[in-house]
Every structure is written in structure tokens, then in C-alpha cells.
Amino acid sequence: MEPASMDRRAGRAMRVALAVGLLAALIAPSGAALAQGTLEITTPYPGVSVQPGASVNFQIDIATSEDRQVDLTVSGVPDGWTAALRGGGFTVSSVWVPKDEAPEVRLDVKVPDGAPEGTTSLTVTATSDGLTSRLVVEITVAAEAGGTVALTSDFPNLKGRSDQSYTFNLQLENNTPQELTFTLNATGGAEGWTIDARPASQSQAASFAVDAGGSSGVTVTVTPAEDAPSATYEVAVQAVSGAFTAEQPLSVEITGNVTLGLSTPQGQPLSTNATAGGEKQFTLVVTNTGTSPAENITMDSTPPSGWSVTFDLDAIAALQPGATQNVIATIKPAAEAIAGDYVVTFRASSAESSDSVDVRVTVETALIWGIVGLAIIALVIGGLLYVFQRYGRR
């Protein structure tokens, strides 16, 4: 073989060797990266909306091509916010990730009460053996973003007297994606009123939980002061859970109450004297001690058999609160009534109230019968004297 041909072959072999070496050098980094495997972090819901003061949780899913320890960090947290990575009940900064089973990790974020409305981005970074994966989550703060709570009543306005209690049945709705624990507060009415608000199913509980998307009953009992004047009284009921507040206004219209009293004028006893067959007038006093006018008050009585009772006023058209009205009753015992004590019951009645008194009536024998008796006695004595004088001398 000629020397020139051998030199050409040797040159070609050297050029091929150099090309192969250069190609190996170019693909070496890519091959190294491939040898390291893969690392990826994701979350099912990377963008959420919440209210100021709310807490939000992101599920963090970590996938890797081989078992490895992964370091985790969170960046971009605004002042006043808190953000922590949690797993296994701890705050974590790294996790061991098997390639076939991802650990449970979550990002907990607390938004402060005064957070301005807008969108904030947080970045979760995972690193391991030169591999890096980043996850960006977005939190939009909006006043109505986290849902609402509502307190309603089918009958928020009730009406009646002051001597009874009023019960309102309310419904509390939790239209948020989380369970909320509520406390109740009820105010209003006036001095001497009692207002009590309780969960319908837990009458002794100071607070109670309502499931996300659920509802619960609330019972409000309003007891007015007994002397409450006629008027409309406002009551406000609040259910509070953190940044959530639901309010329902209620009202009670007091129409007043009627309380009748029946007595005698001051200082006079509930007793009198009468004669059989005669008439005796007796004064009664009707009083309205309630807070509302009494209307159509009727007078009646229950006398002994054979007696009669009449009134100068059989009915009183109206009697204002605190007012009095004298009524004169004329009592007439039976003509054959024997001497002794009898009871006459008097009543004053209206649609709302009534009262009664028992009056003792002492019946005395009529004077004419006393005179007749004396006359008979005198005649008997005179007759006896005449007989003795006429026949006594014989």
C-alpha cells in the first residue's frame, strides 16, 4: 500500500473520532439530566376566592420518578398573611417522597381581616438533587367571595298583649364551603323585657355549628314587661361566626292588656244591712288596672233565691287604663226572708278580663212586723186581764 493512501485513511479515521467525541460532549448534559429523573408539584385548585379574615387550604401533590427527599419553600407571602406547609400534623420544610405513593401535604394560608381586595400569588418551590419544580397559587380577596350566611323568619312581626310571651322561629343558613360555629345575640325591647335566643335543637348551648351548605333553626323568645304601654318594639337578632354575621330584625306590637278590679269605695267594708222586702243601695267601684282601655264592661250578680239586684249602670262603654267608675247596686231581699246573713256575688266582666266580690248582707225584720208583734202581744195580755177581771170574782 502506498504511503499516501495510508495517510488519507488515517486522516479520515481521526476526523470520525473527533466528530464522535464532539457529539458525546454535546449530548452529555442532556443525558445527565435524564439520569436524574423527574420532579413535579401540582394542586387541584390553584386559584380560589375568599373573604377577608378567611383561611384557605391547598392540597399539594408531589410526583417523582424515584424515591427521594424533596425540600419545600413558600415565597410571595404579603405582610400580615400567614402561610405554612403541613403534613402528618406538623409544619414541614421537606418530605420523603416514594415514587409510587405521594405523601399528604397541604399549604395553609390565613388571610387577615383587613386584607384589601385583589389577587395575591404565592409560589411553592420543590427542590431535590438538582431538580426544581414550582407551583403558583392565586388567592383573590373579595367581600362576598367566601359565600354568605343568612338569618330569616317567616313571621318577623307579632302582635298581642303585654302579659304574654312571643316566640319567633328563625332559620340560619350557612351558604359557605366550610362548617361555621355561631354565637347568638339578641337585643331590643325596653326596660323590663327579657329576650332569649337559642339554637332550636340545643336549647342550653351557647354556640353551635352549622355544616357547609346547611341550615339550623333558631328560637327567639320575647317576654315584655307586664306594664309595657301600647307601642311597637324592635328586636335585633344576630348570628356571628368570625367574619360572617347574619341579622334578622323582629318586632312585637303591644296592644296593651285589660285588668279589671271590683271593690267598694275606700274605707267601706264588703257588707251592708237590709230589710226583708225592702231595698238597699250599695256602691261598687270598677277599676281598670291594665295598660289598654277596657270596653263593653257588663255588671251582673248572683243573689239568694227570691232576691233581686239592679244596677244604675248595667254596662260601662269604656274605661281607660287607671280609671275608675262607681256603680250603684240596689239590693232587694225577698219579702219572706228571715233575719240573718246572706251573700250576694257581684261581677264586672269584659272580653279580656273580669273580677268579682262577695258582699255580706244582714237581713233585719221589718219595723212594721215588730209593731204588729207588739200589738198582738198587747191584745193577748189585754184579753187575759179582761178574763181574769170578769170571771175571777166568781
| The domain made up of 260-368 is a member of CATH 2.60.40.10 | yes
Alpha-carbon distances, residue 227 vs 186, 232, 323 (angstroms): 21, 14, 15
Rounded distance, CA 315 to CA 320, Å? 15
pLDDT value at residue 32: 39
Cβ neighbours of residue 319 closer than 8 Å, sequence gap 6 or more? 286, 287, 288, 293, 294, 295, 297, 325
pLDDT value at residue 143: 73
48-60: pLDDT as tens digits: 988 888 888 999 9
**Farthest CA pair distance, the chain:** 222
70-106 in b/e form (b: 16+ CB < 10 A) is bebebeeeeeeeebebeeeeeebeebebeeeeeeebe
pLDDT value at residue 28: 46
316-341: pLDDT as tens digits: 999 999 999 999 999 999 999 999 99
Task: Look at the domain 148-254 and name its fold.
Answer: Immunoglobulin-like (2.60.40)
Would you state the cell numbers that stand for residue 357, as one nine-digit string?
266580690
CB atoms within 10 A of CB 348: 27
SS3 59: strand
113-164: pLDDT as tens digits: 889 999 999 999 999 999 999 999 999 998 777 678 999 999 999 999 888 9
Average pLDDT value for residue range 374-393: 72
Is there a shared CATH topology between the 148-254 domain and the 260-368 domain?
Answer: yes
Alpha-carbon distances, residue 218 vs 10, 126, 140, 143, 246 (angstroms): 99, 48, 33, 26, 12
Would you state the cell numbers that stand for residue 296, as one nine-digit string?
263593653
Q: Is the pLDDT of residue 33 over 50?
A: no
SS3 151: strand
Rounded distance, CA 205 to CA 182, Å? 11
Q: Which of 260, 266, 277, 261 is nearest to 338 (CA)?
A: 277
72-82: pLDDT as tens digits: 999 999 999 99
Which sequence spans correspond to the domains of the chain? 39-141, 148-254, 260-368
Q: Is the pLDDT of residue 374 over 90?
A: no
pLDDT value at residue 7: 56
Its CATH architecture, for the domain 39-141, is: Sandwich (2.60)
SS3 268: coil
